[in-house]
């Protein structure tokens, strides 16, 4: 299966957008975790609920980064099968996470 150059560039652009969104999401979740841990004055059921909510957020961050890594591997595989060189005269290497 051969993809056109435009499809490969579109896939790279979507990957970049996904990385940026994941970085922003990670920063927000980490800020929320730190703020909650530092500022919450809870005990009992409220403390358990906060711990479950925070752990769910951190698990989603982990899953998001796993998705980014899998998409990066797919793009690197596409780059290896690409026959045409880049128009600027060099081939780009994707950053490995």
- 41-68 mean pLDDT: 93
- 19-25 mean pLDDT: 96
Mean pLDDT estimate for the chain: 84
d(C-alpha 30, C-alpha 58), whole Å: 8
Structure confidence at residue 20 as a pLDDT band (50, 70, 90)? very high
Does the residue 33 lie in any domain?
yes
Spatial neighbors of 76 by CB under 8 A, at least 6 apart, are 94, 96
Could you tell me where the DSSP H helices lie in the chain?
5-39, 45-81
Does the residue 97 lie in any domain?
no
From 28-32, 69-73, 88-92, the region with the lowest mean pLDDT: 88-92
Domain with 24 in it: 5-81
Question: Quick one: pLDDT at residue 8?
Answer: 83
Structure confidence at residue 83 as a pLDDT band (50, 70, 90)? low
Phi, psi of 55 (to 5 degrees): -70, -35
Split into its structural domains, the chain has a count of 1
């Amino acid at each position: 299966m051969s993809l056109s150059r435009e499809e490969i560039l579109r896939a790279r652009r979507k990957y970049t957008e996904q990385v940026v969104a994941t970085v922003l999401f990670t920063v927000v979740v980490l800020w929320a975790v730190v703020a909650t841990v530092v500022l919450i004055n809870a005990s009992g059921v409220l403390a358990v609920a906060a711990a479950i909510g925070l752990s769910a957020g951190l698990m989603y961050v982990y899953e998001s980064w796993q998705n980014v890594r899998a998409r990066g591997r797919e793009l690197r595989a596409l780059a290896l099968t690409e026959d045409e060189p880049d128009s600027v005269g060099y081939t780009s290497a994707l950053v490995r996470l």
